[in-house]
Amino acid sequence: MKLAIYSNTLKAISLSFLLISPTTYAAQDELKLVSVKLAKQEQVTPVVWLTGNIASRLNVRLSAERNGRLLWIKDIGDQVKKGEALAQLDTLQNEFRLAEQQSQLRQQKSNTEYLRKQLKRQKALINNKSTARIELDRTERDLSVAEEALNSLNIQISRTQLVIDRSTIRAPFDGQVNQRMAQLGEYITVGSPLVQFVDPNTLDIRIAAPLSVALFLNRGDNMVVKWNNQLQLLPVRTWSPAGTQSSRTFEVLLDASNLKLMSGSAVTVSLPKELANLTTMVPRDALVLRERETFVVTVDQDNAAHKVDVLVGRGVGDWISVSGKVTAGDKVVVRGGERLKDGQKVRFSETENTIVAIN
């Protein structure tokens, strides 16, 4: 009898579990699982956001150093190593001149060698008083003239060889052809631009900054850069030592060599404008970047998510300063907040949250 009652009780409990569990789990599944961290306060320098432009640090226009017809030229986009040829001018006329000068050099060497031997014989004869002193003096003079002519021919040959060498326009560094300014068959004159050559991997961000910013800049300091809904910390490389009187600005350069952006792209950069003060910090992963807005998602005491618009300031490691309705100790979503609706209930790991709060 007792066994039957026990068996019926188990069946009732199991039936109740089956009836309740689907509803309970469904409600649980409606709660979005997110990861949160706590906002904090820290001393950070206030910033001003300015527009910057990506520019290649190595960007040159290469021109012809002599006249000549253009035989060939590299195409736009071609990658060229340092020292390799970018364009070639016709050298035929100078090659003929070089061959003629080398022939004259050989003749002059033969003449100079003859005079040296002649002088040696006459010195032997003058010791035996078998020749006149005037003949010896004439031979010494002729040898001196011949040696100067030999030196002059060597200089002419070197000059002609230099002209031939400079008929090949070579890359001054590793890079790519960005623009061609001449076409095959054109007659090129000295100083005519042939190609624009750039290094697409060595980039700077150029910012026209107010003069007041200069007091708070330090070489190597990381600045926050925003583009295409992304944030990146980049170091200050250098800045111009003087500003322009008309605009009251000076140029600041950030090292952007690690960015996969084309020269000419526009970005937004934060630069320090005042001394450090106490500000609210959130993890960089908490920021949700959109084309026209930047916000974080906070979680209140009822585990409801709320979108909070913020202005981004200076970054410190994995954290970034923000201004808006966020205070130290607020729970901010660092994973899973992109698709949350305002007021939507969320859930998160208590263990993870405790660990985060400690950090």
What pLDDT, in 10s, does the model give residues 181-216?
999 999 999 999 999 999 999 999 999 999 988 888
Tokens at residue 17, please?
A: 């579990």
Q: How confident is the model at residue 193, as a pLDDT?
A: 94
**C-alpha count within 13 angstroms, C-beta hemisphere, residue 283:** 18
Q: How confident is the model at residue 252, as a pLDDT?
A: 94
Which DSSP string corresponds to 309-330? EEEEEEEETTEEEEEES--TT-
CATH fold match for the domains 31-56+208-358 and 60-89+168-201 = no
Question: Nearest CA to 299 among 53, 83, 31?
Answer: 31
Neighbours of 299 (CB within 10 A): 22
Q: What is the DSSP letter of 213?
A: G
- Name the phi and psi angles at 175, rounded to 5: 180, -160
Question: Nearest CA to 225 among 52, 356, 354, 101?
Answer: 52
The distance in angstroms from the start CA to the end CA of the chain is: 60
Neighbours of 169 (CB within 10 A): 22
Phi-psi group of 290: left, alpha or beta (phi > 0 → left; psi -120 to 50 → alpha; rest → beta): beta
Tokens at residue 253, please?
A: 């350069």
Domain regions of the chain by residue span: 31-56+208-358, 60-89+168-201, 91-166
3-state secondary structure of 226: strand
* Cβ atoms 213, 52 nearer than 8 A: no
Strand intervals (E) in 74-136: 79-80, 85-89
Q: How confident is the model at residue 349, as a pLDDT?
A: 61
Q: Does CATH number 2.40.420.20 belong to domain 31-56+208-358?
A: yes
Q: How confident is the model at residue 161, as a pLDDT?
A: 93
Q: How confident is the model at residue 325, as a pLDDT?
A: 87
Which DSSP string corresponds to 14-81? HHHHHHHHHHHHHHHHHSEE-EEEE-EEEEE--EEEEEEEEEESSEEEEE-SS-EEEEEEPPTT-EE-
- Name the phi and psi angles at 55, rounded to 5: -140, 140
CA-CA-CA-CA torsion for 113, 119, 120, 124, nearest 10 degrees?
160
* Cβ atoms 221, 315 nearer than 8 A: no
**C-alpha count within 13 angstroms, C-beta hemisphere, residue 329:** 1
**Euclidean distance between CA atoms 306 and 300, whole angstroms:** 8
Domain topology for 60-89+168-201 = OB fold (Dihydrolipoamide Acetyltransferase, E2P) (2.40.50)
What pLDDT, in 10s, does the model give residues 246-296?
888 999 999 998 788 888 889 999 898 877 778 888 988 888 888 778 888
Tokens at residue 112, please?
A: 């100079």
Sign of the Cα torsion 222, 224, 226, 232 reads positive
**Euclidean distance between CA atoms 208 and 212, whole angstroms:** 12
Residue spans of the chain under pLDDT 70: 1-30, 128-131, 349-359
- Residue carrying structure tokens 């750039």: 198
**C-alpha count within 13 angstroms, C-beta hemisphere, residue 304:** 5
**Euclidean distance between CA atoms 289 and 231, whole angstroms:** 8
* Cβ atoms 206, 240 nearer than 8 A: no
